[in-house]
Homo-oligomer: A and B are copies of this chain.
Amino acid sequence: MKLSKRKEKILKAVVESNLSSGEPISSKAIQKEYLPDVSSATIRNELMSLEELGYLAHIHTSSGRVPTSEGYKKYVQELMPTKKLTTTELATIQSNFTNKLVNLNDIIERSAKTISDVANYASVVYMGASDATIQQIKLVSISARSQLVVVVTDMGAISEMADLGNVSEEDLDEATKIMCKLFVGKPLSALENRGQIVSSELLKYKEIFEKIIDTIISRDDAIKKFRVAGKEKFMEYPEFEDITKLKRAIKLLDNSDELLPVIANDDDIKINIEFGGTAENPDCSIVTATYKLKGDKTFSAGIVGPVRMDYAKAISVLKEVSDKIKDITDKE
């Protein structure tokens, strides 16, 4: 439903005041600071009406109004001015992405940290793919009984120590060659269907291959990478001074893999906001940005903060960082 111009103005006033102060606002204060042309009584009438519509709430009979989650939603969707990041903030982001970042792990770590630092809320970043393509496999002998298995995919390199037993340098080279021949260019999931691979060459090194495949498959970060940053930011907001609320919020981030949309449907960046978070976590809001990258990869970043969040800034930061990621990954 469409609100009257004046109702919009008032809702905007309540939200923005709450955003900066965290406190409820009174009709008188609205009049003084936002709408000097009408009386506080009129504003009071409008407030009552907005409350009936579900956008505002009352703590008790005689204290000012606060926006509900619905109110915040309305504000973000219809009333919020787009906020440009300051040059300082843009510079901070820029400086975090100037260094060469070729390693995917570094990229998501840096992203999470940057988002959290600039927005000043906790953040979580995900990058994943439905599958990854194997580009290289190398076996490096370390000591008599231990070897390093390196598998390079378009999702980055996994290196993992393996205990293959006593294998000669020649056998190792031979095994490497065979594995490359069989698997390079294939998807990582091909390793899992090992039963289907029948190869006379494979037979000789069967035991070794089994171990290597086990080693790789056990790495659940091979095609999915999560990173959380800035949990401690919650401590800066009075909403979370109550330690039980703080605990709840932190717990939310510990299960962050359920927080982000991990599949992008669109080439364009898609912003989603959960106002008042989940049912168990009504104190948090979650802003997420998701999009497709080259090669069937999904990038997804989220900001988790209080419902009283600077949504405009959160969105700007997510967009800015997402752009940087796009730049980096497109170059490859």
On A, residues with C-beta under 8 Å from B are 100, 102-103, 135-136, 138, 140-143, 146, 148, 150, 152, 156-157, 159-163, 231-232, 235, 241, 243, 246-247, 250, 332
Contacts and interface: CB of A to CB of B under 8 A. Distances in A.
Given A135-B142, A150-B150, A103 B161 contact: yes
B235 A163 contact: no
B161 A102 contact: yes
Most B CB contacts (10 A, CB to CB) among A141, A148, A247, A250 go to A148
This chain: copies in complex:
2
Contacts of A156: 161
7 contacts: A102-B146, A102-B161, A135-B143, A136-B141, A136-B142, A136-B148, A148-B157
Given A140-B157, A143-B332, 14 more contacts: A102-B146, A102-B162, A102-B163, A135-B143, A136-B142, A138-B150, A140-B152, A148-B152, A150-B159, A157-B161, A231-B231, A232-B247, A235-B246, A235-B250
Given A142-B152, A152-B140, A160 B103 contact: yes
Q: Is the interface of A mostly helix, strand, loop or mixed?
A: strand
A100 to B, nearest CB: 6
Contacts of A148: 136, 150, 152, 157
Q: Name which of A103, A138, A140, A235 has the most chain B CB atoms within 10 A of its CB.
A: A140
Contact of A243 (B135, B152, B157, B243): B243
A250 B235 CA distance: 10
Contacts of A250: 232, 235
Contact of A140 (B136, B243, B247): B136
Contacts of A246: 235, 243
A140 B142 contact: no
A330 to B, nearest CB: 14
A138 B138 contact: yes
Nearest to A100: B163
B159 A157 contact: yes
A153 to B, nearest CB: 10
A150 B161 contact: no
Contacts of A247: 232, 235
Contacts of A235: 243, 246-247, 250
